Structure 1
Amino acid sequence: MVGNGRALPSGFVQDVEVEELAGALTAHEWDFSSATARLGGHGFVLASGSGSVLLAGVVHPLEGPCVVWLPSGSLARVRLDAGARGAMMAVSDAALGRVVPASSIAGPLRQAIERPMLGVRIEAAAARGAVRDLEDMRREALDDLPGMREAIISRLCLVLIAFWRWGGGASVQPQSSPRQLVQNFLQLVELNARAQWRIGDYARTMGVSTDRLTTAIRRATGQSPLELVHRRLMKDAESLLERSILQVAEIADALGFRDPGYFNRFFARRAGMSPGRYRQQFLLQRAGREGSYAAWP
């Protein structure tokens, strides 16, 4: 579930749960000692306030802004004092297995989510950003729009990468070669183009700067990263216009465009015609081909 107990579609039920920590008047506790509670990982972003984590008989004090990560199977208890603000997430083992990107950081990231982080201090702005990401995941579930599952997984990936960096994992990773960067980027585009990731999101996921990613992509392909993302979206749009009976607004939604008018302009700039006109021309051309085949002796 994600927030307010809202169930997700089949295959995603109870995979991710997000709870807002809105400065309660009394202390709040989470007990992860039961077998059910230990399934999956649990993360806390404490934007402000204080509390503690009890793990393996040792009490670890918390002082915001900080983060906590408890891997699957942790026998722990978290207490947040009255007034604490932030957000927490519970992520199933299945979701943790799916969310790790196919890139050079896959191995280190998997190792990181198997280790606890207990009150690692972070910048206040970073804490606010992580809370926003978690709140976006909760809103995605509540809106229940097409592509919701992919959007939640994409945001979850960014949050876990941020936790990994705050835990110090990114500081020891060797830099990928330009060729590996290009391969990793193209793989991520296949997975996340419809989630409308920004180029900065791709760069963060890959552990490189936006400038380095852009330079590597331009040298290898002659195009910018954004142009490659747009090309992927155009291929998907053309395929849906040709092979589906979805309305143009529904296709826009399926591709992550919240505004159908913007999708129309996006498509027209690249195809030289509107999506509706493109579909009409395709159907006329197909009818002409089928008619010519029928005329054969």
Structure 2
Amino acid sequence: MHKASAAAVPVFKLYGETAVWPTPDLLHCESIPERSRLHDWEIKPHRHGDLVQLLYVQGGSAELEVEGVVSHVQQPALQVVPALSVHGFRFSRDVQGHVLSLALPLVEQLGAVLDSPPLARAACYPAAEQRRYLDALFDSIAEEYSTQQPGRELMLQSLISALLVWVGRRSQALAHAETQGQDRGREHLQRFTRLLESHFREHRPIEQYASELGISAAHLNALCRRLAGQSALQLINQRLLLEAKRSLVYTAMTINQVSDSLGFSEPAYFSRFFKRGSGLSPKAFRLQR
């Protein structure tokens, strides 16, 4: 999906329309194929100045881009598109689902009773085990929207309120899971640091540290890069280099003895390791201190 500059991104009431809001309601509901087939199944980047959209992909596949974040949807999922966010979609020809557009006054009115506004942040929520519930909810909204039954406005507000509660709960669950993941990551890194402090002289492979932590080597590397800015191997080498510098500066050990104390198989290997990490040979480093 091509990028568009902010100045070039059109602002539409509904995609492809610059006319006034097409309905007296504060919402608009249509199927995904209904509009996307008119544009060869691709909705180019645009934004809405005064409405929020909820796009529910029930079947087929879709590529959903909102503010530069792309979600590749192969299973039922609900995409939240906040007001003024740049977004564009690409759908498979067999796509099924609904697009619900809500005017900001309605969003603010219904969201006021919730703890936090659930439609203020762009997010894509997999339907997962809630698929039947979302299917029934969107089908009910679409049916109620297309008819003129007594109590229609109240029923639509009730159905949309239920949908906003669902989004709000999913948003909170996602935030909680992210926080837990960050906490677990920090815990793993702290445990790795403690293990490294005890065993850095043994030149253990990363896989052994990861196994003791109960995670994969790739996961350990990813955690180290994300939370410490370096790979696990870089942290191991830094700890060895630090101990080597301490020994060269604060002890009278020979370079061969320092090499042995740090678990290197031969002094030549230790010297190459030290020069690669510090830019100086062990002897030159000791002489300059």
Higher relative contact order (CA 8 A, sep 6+): 1
**Higher radius of gyration, 1 or 2:** 2
Query: What TM-score, normalized by structure 1, do the two folds share?
Result: 0.45
